[in-house]
Chain A
Amino acid sequence: MILQFVLAMIATASFAVLFCVPKDQFLFSSLTGALGWIGYLIFYGLGCGTVTASLLATFFLTIVSRFFAAIRKNPVTLYLVTSIFTLVPGAGIYYTSYYFIMDDMASFAAKGMETFKIAGAIAVGIIFGFSIPQKVFHWKAR
């Protein structure tokens, strides 16, 4: 679990470099990504499916980003955009096209639906995360 956390952190940090995040925010960006991924693993381990785990992890990740944005006085985008990559269903896209090519239509439909559901879950997670009034974060920041 610690190894996963560190790897997720390094992965997010190197993406933060690609998107030119200011140097003093690297730590917070990568921490957000790592927390999001660990959140996913925990929810998945608790028996949630991939879709529910993605939703809860995105929700958690959005809250963390907004919290960092409030205390560091920076746009939320800085933390949210770099860290969301741990949850975007890249594997889903790969396996969907794999099963399609292999004429395994049952698996293709299942994987395709799952990928769409995960993308939807991420959307819902972000929306829930942004539904919390801004006041809450300013109160925390103080």
Chain B
Amino acid sequence: MSDSKEILTLAVEIGDVLLRNGGEIYRVEDTILHILDAYGLAEYDVYVLSNGIFASANEQKEDACSIVRHVPLGDVHLGRIAAVNQLSREISAGTCSVSNAWERLNACKAIPVQSPFVQEICCGIGCACFCSIFGGGPPDAFFSFVLGFFLQYLRLHQQAHGTSKFLTNIIGSAFLTASSLTLMRLGLPVLHDKIVIGSIVPLLPGIALTTSIRDLFGGDYLSGAIHLLDALLTAMCIALGVGMVMIGYRDLMGGAILP
């Protein structure tokens, strides 16, 4: 029987992976509680926020222990969530020892992200498809592909340099708008608004919105509010990026942009 400190650390570490990669609060809390329960700890308590975990166990006993963990808002990696979900399922069923669970957890954490090139290509394809379902024609979809490709390149580049997410969103949407206005200005037969709408999709706060609603619905108002604020600010940054370029275009080139 391992000591309670190790079990608590394991449980919180598993919760950490879930939270960091985009799991919702209710699930993180539930998973930690199930694991503590499965390994026979008593009198535990867990409090999870969207950027932190607080947990304690065996409060009345000799080996009382507690953990505070800061979890920064990170990128979504659903593969890790699925793998950790499977792991916690097995722990709850009692088919996974503590040392085995540590190994499995480290394997889950090591699941790689896609290579930059694959990400750029996929982002491009996604943008092209969104452009055509939102009403763009084949040439618009083609330019959306190109812009989506470079947008993802830009985002990865910014991420590697630790630029703030807000700045990345402003620069990204400004880049898209500027490029599509340039294409229009060059006289190409494109719908500049459809190109932007298609290729702007990767920047949209779809995940933040979804997570925030699910947190609010689960009664975690604070975490829900944090994600909701994130979603609103992201949307405003996108609007700001688009708006700045349009003002520049209107003032430099003169005259209105056709919608």
Contact = CB atoms under 8 A, between A and B. Distances in A.
A65 to B, nearest CB: 10
Contacts of A52: none
B197 interface: yes
Interface in B129-146: 129-130, 132-134
B213 A94 contact: no
B22 interface: yes
B82 A11 contact: no
A74 B85 contact: yes
Contacts of B201: 11, 15, 85, 88, 90
Interface in A30-45: 37
B78 A97 contact: no
Given A14-B126, A17-B118, A98-B259, A22 B242 contact: no
Interface residues of B, number: 57
A81 B206 contact: yes
Interface string A126-142: 11001000000000000
Contact of A96 (B125, B239, B247): B239
Q: Which of B113, B126, B196 lies at the interface centre, i.e. has the most chain A CB atoms within 10 A of its CB?
A: B126
B10 interface: no
Main secondary structure of the interface of A (DSSP, over half): helix
Contacts of A94: 193, 196-197, 200, 242
Q: Which of A17, A25, A97 lies at the interface centre, i.e. has the most chain B CB atoms within 10 A of its CB?
A: A97
A109 B78 CA distance: 37
Given A90-B197, A93-B239, A11 B78 contact: no
Contacts of B27: 75, 77
A90 B204 contact: yes
B84 to A, nearest CB: 9
Contact of B210 (A14, A81, A86, A97): A81
Contacts of B257: 98, 102
B77 interface: yes
Interface in B46-103: 76-83, 85, 89
Contacts of B225: none
A20 B75 CA distance: 10
A91 interface: yes
Contact of A91 (B114, B125, B197, B206): B197
B239 A18 contact: no
A74 B200 CA distance: 29
A82 B256 CA distance: 36
A7 B81 CA distance: 27
9 contacts: A10-B125, A19-B76, A19-B77, A22-B82, A94-B193, A98-B242, A102-B257, A123-B213, A126-B213
Given A20-B78, A77-B22, 18 more contacts: A4-B133, A10-B125, A11-B130, A11-B201, A14-B122, A17-B118, A18-B123, A18-B126, A19-B207, A20-B80, A77-B81, A86-B130, A91-B134, A93-B204, A93-B239, A95-B193, A98-B193, A98-B246
Interface of A: 4, 7-8, 10-12, 14-22, 25, 37, 73-75, 77-78, 80-82, 84-86, 88, 90-91, 93-98, 100-102, 119, 122-123, 126-127, 130
